[in-house]
Amino acid sequence: MNEKKRLPFGMGRLGTKWWVLVGVSLTLVTRGIIAYSQQASEGEVVTGMRDIGPMGGAAWGLYIVFVVYFVGISFTGICLASLIRLLNLKVLRPIVRPAEVMTVIALILGALAILADVGQPGRAFLMLLKYARPQSPFFGTFAMVISGYLFGSLVYLYLHGRPDAAVLAKRPGLLQRFHRWWAAGYGDTPPERARRVRSSFWLSVALLPLLITATSTLGFVFGLQGGRPGWFGSLQAPGFVVMAGLSGVGVLILIAAGLRQALGEKERLNLELFRWLADFLLVLLAGYLYFLVVEWLTNSYAAGPSESLVSQAILAGENAWIFWGSVAFLTLPAFLLLLQRLRGRVSLPLIVACGVMVNLAAIAKRFLIVVPSQTHGMLLPYSTGSYTPSLVEWEIVIGLVGLGGLLFALFVKGFPILELDRDYLGGTK
Amino acid sequence: MNRTAIAIWMVVAGFSLQFFAYFRWAAPLGAPTSPAFSDPRIPYAPAAFIFGVMLVFLSAVVYELQGGGEGESDG
């Protein structure tokens, strides 16, 4: 009887919606690959990036904006997964695996965005391993985040998936060999369970400080550059951590809502879970808006001439629409979520809309952190520069987003995206 | 050697690698008064640091998988 039972959560069944998602993702990935081949063959002249100063451009553009964005998303995924396990937050338990998968995929995308940014990825990779300074924030971001953090997250996902893999490995089918490999002999004996609890605890304990350090280091890449007006400041690192939390929780809300709709899992992915996520979002929004006001006050009250030029470009210049748009997409969700909290109701469409808005705001804020400080407020006598991402850059970045969708769609069909119930297939998980 | 000992050994080795790569093998810390401050004292010191981080996390896999199998005693 059990043998005939379907695989859980739509695994192995390829419906129309799934094919549409895969088709769209593959199209985006293909466009991205074509754009990248153009960049690889013709050089970075096909991008909108140019040297700072003499060429009046920005050396870091859309790729670095999305490196920061992807790493931010990954931070929240594994951070939430660790906290849910450490604090045993049962309401949020169903989103543990989606959060882990989100982290791994976002880190892969972050690594690819870095490779897209450097002219010769192979050479950069070799030089990084041979000559980099482990003390440098650049190394911390581009090597430790991607290697240590990605590796740690993969280990976390792998070990926590073993019990489910062991249950599924008993079922004959195309995926049986894969599940057997993943289970790696897991038998759910009391000693194995005890080991799992211990390793899970220590992994969470090891990952959490690494996450905070890695994301802060990303902020230090900007915040420690004293010669670049607009970047130097002690708020960059905590600001990066809070913004990472915001964008990650936003994406997690979208993923959870998508899974709830696609899998019909309204009981496990219930409104109480979304209320928790909305509350997280509200707290993080309040924190980030506070940072925003403090930063704005500091820059407008006592800034030097160069800092003032950068502030002017952001508040009233060519980037003003991005800044005020991001402010709107941060304050509106905060207001709506607060209103919802005060009324004691939970509206899923509203929470999803807030998730979308904070992510648009996060991308806009990353752009404002990365770009204007390179084009405005030069300390040397160079004129003001400008940067507009080229079509090639957009196609590569959108291709990366498509790759993320594709990887997620493939994972969902090969492994349970939600943790299995204890009694699934008579297992004793 | 049981699984716990191997895992602890890996954690210690991993952190030691990170420590030596950071403080002894990489380019020295301090004001860059000479070219010696630019290059690592031992080539591939950054790779050793990354390997150290990975070794620490890998210890969790070894702890759970080493010896594998049902009925394995919890060493």
b/e for A249-261, b at 16 or more Cβ within 10 A?
bbbbbebbbbbbe
What whole-number distance in Å separates Cα of residue A373 and Cα of residue A53? Answer: 11
Of A297-311, A398-412, B39-53, the poorest mean pLDDT is in: A297-311
Cβ-based contacts of B64 with chain A (< 8 Å): 159, 162, 192, 195-196, 199
CA atoms within 13 A on the CB side of A414: 15
**pLDDT bucket at A231, cuts 50 / 70 / 90:** confident
Indicate whether A390 pLDDT > 50.
Answer: yes
Give percent above pLDDT 90 in chain A.
Answer: 47
CA distance A17 to chain B (A): 36
Indicate whether A5 pLDDT > 60.
Answer: yes
Residue B64 contacts A, CB cutoff 8 Å: yes
- For chain B, give every domain's residue range: 3-28+41-65
What whole-number distance in Å separates Cα of residue A368 and Cα of residue A317? Answer: 12
What is the residue-averaged pLDDT of chain A? 88
What whole-number distance in Å separates Cα of residue A315 and Cα of residue A324? Answer: 8
**pLDDT bucket at B72, cuts 50 / 70 / 90:** very low
Of A23-37, A102-116, A261-275, B25-39, the poorest mean pLDDT is in: B25-39
Task: State residue A174's pLDDT score.
Answer: 84
Indicate whether A8 pLDDT > 60.
Answer: yes
Q: Express each pLDDT in A269-310 by its tens digit.
A: 999 999 999 999 999 999 999 998 988 888 777 778 888 888
Cβ-based contacts of A151 with chain B (< 8 Å): 53-54, 57-58
What whole-number distance in Å separates Cα of residue A259 and Cα of residue A251? Answer: 12
Q: How many CB pairs under 8 A join A and B?
A: 91
Cβ-based contacts of B3 with chain A (< 8 Å): 195
**pLDDT bucket at A317, cuts 50 / 70 / 90:** confident
Residue B21 contacts A, CB cutoff 8 Å: yes
Q: Express each pLDDT in A158-177 by its tens digit.
A: 999 999 999 999 888 888 89
Which position has the higher pLDDT, B32 or A428?
Answer: B32
Q: Express each pLDDT in A123-159 by its tens digit.
A: 888 888 888 887 777 777 766 676 778 888 899 999 9
Residues 6+ apart with CB under 8 A from A419: A93, A94, A96, A97, A164
Residue B67 contacts A, CB cutoff 8 Å: no
- Residue A244: closest CA among A200, A194, A281, A189: A281
Cβ-based contacts of B44 with chain A (< 8 Å): 129-130
Q: What is the mean pLDDT of residues A324-328?
A: 95
DSSP A143: I
The top-scoring range by mean pLDDT among A106-110, A175-179, A398-402 is A398-402
Indicate whether B9 pLDDT > 80.
Answer: yes
Task: State residue B70's pLDDT score.
Answer: 41
Among B54, B57, B74, the residue to mutate for chain A (most A Cβ within 10 A): B57
Residue B6 contacts A, CB cutoff 8 Å: no
Task: Look at B45 and A159 and tell me if their CB atoms are within 8 Å.
Answer: no
Which position has the higher pLDDT, A308 or A339?
Answer: A339
Cβ-based contacts of A141 with chain B (< 8 Å): none
What whole-number distance in Å separates Cα of residue A158 and Cα of residue A122? Answer: 28
Cβ-based contacts of A148 with chain B (< 8 Å): 50, 53-54, 57
**pLDDT bucket at A429, cuts 50 / 70 / 90:** very low
Task: State residue A290's pLDDT score.
Answer: 94
Task: Look at A162 and B64 and tell me if their CB atoms are within 8 Å.
Answer: yes
Q: Express each pLDDT in A236-251 by its tens digit.
A: 888 888 999 999 999 9
The top-scoring range by mean pLDDT among A5-14, A194-203, A359-368 is A359-368
Which position has the higher pLDDT, A344 or A12?
Answer: A344
- Nearest by CB to A131, from B39, B70, B74: name it: B39
Residue A323's alpha-carbon distances to A285, A301, A303, A309, A369, in angstroms, are 16, 18, 19, 15, 10
Of A58-67, A136-145, B39-48, the poorest mean pLDDT is in: A136-145
Of A8-17, B15-24, B45-54, B65-74, the poorest mean pLDDT is in: B65-74
Task: State residue A200's pLDDT score.
Answer: 86
Indicate whether A423 pLDDT > 70.
Answer: no
Indicate whether A426 pLDDT > 60.
Answer: no
Which position has the higher pLDDT, A125 or A417?
Answer: A417
Q: What is the mean pLDDT of residues A60-76?
A: 92
Q: Express each pLDDT in A374-384 by its tens digit.
A: 888 777 888 88
**pLDDT bucket at A3, cuts 50 / 70 / 90:** very low
Cβ-based contacts of B40 with chain A (< 8 Å): 130-131, 133
Residue B68 contacts A, CB cutoff 8 Å: yes
Q: What is the mean pLDDT of residues A60-87?
A: 90
If you measure CA to CA, which chain B residue comes closest to A199?
A: B60
Count CB atoms within 10 A of the CB of residue A377: 22
A188: left (phi over 0), alpha (psi -120 to 50) or beta: left
